[in-house]
Amino acid sequence: MERQVKSKENAITTNQYMLKWIDRVAKICKPKQIVWITGEQEQLESLRKEACELGIFHKLNEEKLPDCYLHRSDPNDVARVEGRTYICSRKEEDAGPTNNWMEPKEMYEKLENLYDGSMKDREMYIIPFSMSIVGSPFSKYGIEITDSLYVVLSMAIMTRIGKPVLEAIGDSKEFTKGVHSKAGLDPEKRYIAHFPEDNAIMSINSGYGGNVLLGKKCLALRIASYLGRRDGWMAEHMLILGIENPKGEVRYVAAAFPSACGKTNLAMLIPPKHFVRSGWKTYCVGDDIAWLRVGEDGRLWASNPEYGFFGVAPGTNEKSNYNALASTKKNTIFTNVALDRDDNTVWWEGLTKEPPKNALNWKGEPWDPASGEKAAHPNSRFTAPAENCPCISTEFNSAKGVPISAIIFGGRRAKTAPLVYQSRDWNHGVFVGSIMASETTAAITGETGVVRRDPMAMLPFCGYHMGDYWQHWIDMGRKIEHKPKIFNVNWFRTDDEGKFIWPGFGDNLRILEWILIRCHDGFDAVETPIGNVPYPEDIDIDNLEDVTIDTLKELLKVDEKLWKEEMEGVREFYKKFGKKLPDKLAAELDATEKRLNQ
Ligand code: GTP
Ligand code: SPV
Ligand code: MN
Could you report the per-residue pLDDT of 242-301, keeping only the tens digit for each?
Answer: 999 999 999 999 999 999 999 999 999 999 999 999 999 999 999 999 999 999 999 999
Tell whether 449 and 379 lie within a shared domain: no
Q: How many A from CA of 237 to the centre of ligand 3?
A: 7
Q: Return all residues near 587 (Cβ < 8 A) that are at least 6 apart.
A: none
Give CA separation, 311 vs 132, 288, 385, in Å. 19, 9, 11
> Using 50, 70 and 90 to split pLDDT, how confident is the model at 182?
very high
Tell whether 379 and 487 lie within a shared domain: no
Confirm whether 64 is domain-assigned: no
Asked whether the predicted pLDDT for residue 9 surpasses 80, the reply is no
Minimum-distance ligand 1 atom for the alpha carbon of 500: 30
Confirm whether 71 is domain-assigned: no
Tell whether 548 and 441 lie within a shared domain: yes
Closest CA to 18 of 155, 194, 203, 172: 172
Catalytic residue check, 218: no
Ligand 2 neighbourhood includes 80 CB (under 6 angstroms): yes
Average pLDDT over residues 186-202: 98
pLDDT at 424: 98
Ligand 2 neighbourhood includes 209 CB (under 6 angstroms): yes
Dihedral-angle region of residue 347 (phi above 0 means left; psi in -120 to 50 means alpha; beta otherwise): beta
Q: How many A from CA of 331 to the centre of ligand 2?
A: 20
Average pLDDT over residues 55-81: 98
Tell whether 141 and 179 lie within a shared domain: yes
CA distance 91 to 271: 48
Give CA separation, 588 vs 321, 432, 475, 531, 576, in Å. 37, 9, 16, 11, 17
Confirm whether 69 is domain-assigned: no
Ligand 2 neighbourhood includes 443 CB (under 6 angstroms): yes
Q: How many A from CA of 360 to the centre of ligand 2?
A: 25
Minimum-distance ligand 1 atom for the alpha carbon of 504: 27
Last residue of a domain, one of 168, 199, 230: 230
Q: How many A from CA of 481 to the centre of ligand 2?
A: 32
pLDDT at 6: 85
pLDDT at 426: 98
CA distance 141 to 334: 26
Q: What is the residue range of 210's domain?
A: 7-55+81-230
Asked whether the predicted pLDDT for residue 156 surpasses 90, the reply is yes
Q: Which residue puts its alpha carbon closest to atom 28 of ligand 1?
A: 504
Could you report the per-residue pLDDT of 456-501, keeping only the tens digit for each?
Answer: 999 999 999 999 999 999 999 999 999 999 999 999 999 999 999 9
Tell whether 406 and 549 lie within a shared domain: yes
Ligand 2 neighbourhood includes 382 CB (under 6 angstroms): no
Contacts for 449-458 with beta carbons within 8 Å, 24 or more apart?
451/413, 453/569, 453/570, 453/573, 454/258, 454/411, 456/236, 456/237, 456/256, 456/409, 457/237, 457/238, 457/256, 457/257, 457/258, 457/259, 457/261, 457/409, 457/411, 458/221, 458/225, 458/236, 458/237, 458/256
Q: Return all residues near 92 (Cβ < 8 A) that are at least 6 apart.
A: 101, 103
Q: Which protein residues have their CB within 5 A of the ion that is ligand 3?
A: 259, 288
Could you report the per-residue pLDDT of 332-355, keeping only the tens digit for each?
Answer: 999 999 999 999 999 999 999 999
Cβ atoms of 130 and 158 within 8 Å: the answer is no
Q: What are phi and psi of 22, to 5 degrees?
A: -65, -40
Q: How many A from CA of 261 to the centre of ligand 1?
A: 4
Tell whether 33 and 170 lie within a shared domain: yes
pLDDT at 522: 81
Last residue of a domain, one of 177, 195, 230: 230
Tell whether 407 and 537 lie within a shared domain: yes
Could you report the per-residue pLDDT of 407-444, keeping only the tens digit for each?
Answer: 999 999 999 999 999 999 999 999 999 999 999 999 99
pLDDT at 2: 56
Total domains present in the chain? 3
Closest CA to 490 of 453, 553, 438, 426: 438
- Return the CATH number at 325: 2.170.8.10
Ligand 2 neighbourhood includes 210 CB (under 6 angstroms): yes
Q: How many A from CA of 259 to the centre of ligand 2?
A: 6
pLDDT at 320: 92
Q: What is the mean pLDDT of the chain?
A: 97
In the structure, which protein residues have their CB atom closer than 6 angstroms to any atom of ligand 1? 257, 259-265, 287-288, 311-312, 314-315, 320, 443, 491-492, 500, 504-505, 508
Tell whether 248 and 343 lie within a shared domain: no
Confirm whether 284 is domain-assigned: yes
Last residue of a domain, one of 388, 415, 446: 388
pLDDT at 7: 82
Confirm whether 65 is domain-assigned: no
Residues written for the chain: 598
Tell me which ligand sits closest to the C-alpha of residue 256: 1
Tell whether 127 and 252 lie within a shared domain: no
Asked whether the predicted pLDDT for residue 1 surpasses 60, the reply is no
- Return the CATH number at 484: 3.90.228.20
Confirm whether 115 is domain-assigned: yes
pTM over 0.85: yes
Ligand 2 neighbourhood includes 73 CB (under 6 angstroms): no
Q: Which residue puts its alpha carbon closest to atom 4 of ligand 2?
A: 259
Cβ atoms of 67 and 160 within 8 Å: the answer is no
Tell whether 28 and 46 lie within a shared domain: yes
**Helix H or strand E encompassing 367:** strand 366-367
> Among residues 88, 261, 284, 391, which one is catalytic?
261
Tell whether 145 and 266 lie within a shared domain: no
Tell whether 495 and 587 lie within a shared domain: yes
Cβ atoms of 270 and 302 within 8 Å: the answer is no
Average pLDDT over residues 357-366: 98
Confirm whether 63 is domain-assigned: no
- Return the CATH number at 140: 3.40.449.10
Average pLDDT over residues 168-174: 98
pLDDT at 3: 65
Closest CA to 88 of 200, 209, 249: 200
Average pLDDT over residues 107-132: 98
CA distance 506 to 494: 18
Ligand 2 neighbourhood includes 381 CB (under 6 angstroms): no
Confirm whether 60 is domain-assigned: no
Q: What percent of the chain has pLDDT over 70?
A: 99
Ligand 2 neighbourhood includes 257 CB (under 6 angstroms): no
Cβ atoms of 244 and 294 within 8 Å: the answer is no
Q: Which residue puts its alpha carbon closest to atom 5 of ligand 1?
A: 260
Ligand 2 neighbourhood includes 464 CB (under 6 angstroms): no
pLDDT at 75: 97
